Structure 1
Amino acid sequence: MVAMNNNATFLNTARLNRKGLSLVELMVALSVLLLVLAIGYPFYFFGTRSFAVGEEQSNVQRDLRVAASFITRELRNATFVQIGTDTADDGYEYIYLNDDNIKHLKDTTITTWTNDNILSLSFNIEEKENIVTFQITGQEGNQVYSINSSVHLNNVKNQPEASGSLIRYSNDL
């Protein structure tokens, strides 16, 4: 009788030690996993979108700063400055907006200074102030950014008042 009791206990223990999940345990685990994913996805989406918006803003700001620095560097020591509306092959250098890019024309070489994200470029000379002010506005995605800057013309005096979207200048001394 003792041997039979030991066999029955062994069989009951073997049945209880089976490894695996029941259907109920599997459904509970999947429900918890789905709940965690449902809570976590909006945070992931928000982080990804915030990064994309920040990158767009950074790109347009970088392009505008580079263009403003170039314009300032070119005009500061210019010996002749005139605001106009059209380029010509006349030995002068030009800075202008074309196809959403700020371009620089020197001799017959055209250099592009920005990506395709510039909306507007305008120049203004105050009468007898020897200062050129300019505004550059750019957009990438929904991010719009604008830079206003001024350049004191070291080598040009008594400029007439003018405004436009193109500037013609010379750096010959």
Structure 2
Amino acid sequence: MDLETFRQESQSDFPTNKKLKDRLRRLKPKDLDLRFAENHEEVFQEIDCLDCANCCKTTSPIFLQTDIDRIAKVFRMKPSQFIDEYLQRDEEGDFVLRSSPCPFLGVDNKCLVYEDRPKACREYPHTNRKNMAGILNLSLKNTLICPAVHKIFRQIEKEYRK
């Protein structure tokens, strides 16, 4: 995956994706969820996250206390030590990583704590969940981070043009 090409394409497509997001708000919630879920399945048959890992390289998930406790245990650390070493509070008061790329990202793009990764990582990029209407703004932002989300928006846009 050429991340520079992706970055340019996703930024170029952002205004179109923003308009699409506004149009998608008019859909019935169940229809919106179904549209995303179908495209999610199709896109992830083609895209392998290990070829990219851009989410792990550029953003931080929110760490819930249960995530902190679980991962700290993996490293045989106290949760407070884990927080001091790896996390900080963001503007909303959530725990996020101090730095990027993620310190748990291996050179092969594999997660060193995959089995114990945060809930936000497990659910990313959130395109196959219920209540997509509630996270359309987040999904739009994710078109700039995740090639799969970008492709899902492109496919939905094509469906709208038919």
TM-score range, shorter chain: under 0.3
Higher Rg: 1
More strand by share: 1
Normalising by structure 1, what TM-score? Answer: 0.24
Structure number with higher relative contact order (C-alpha < 8 Å, ≥ 6 residues apart): 2
More helix by share: 2
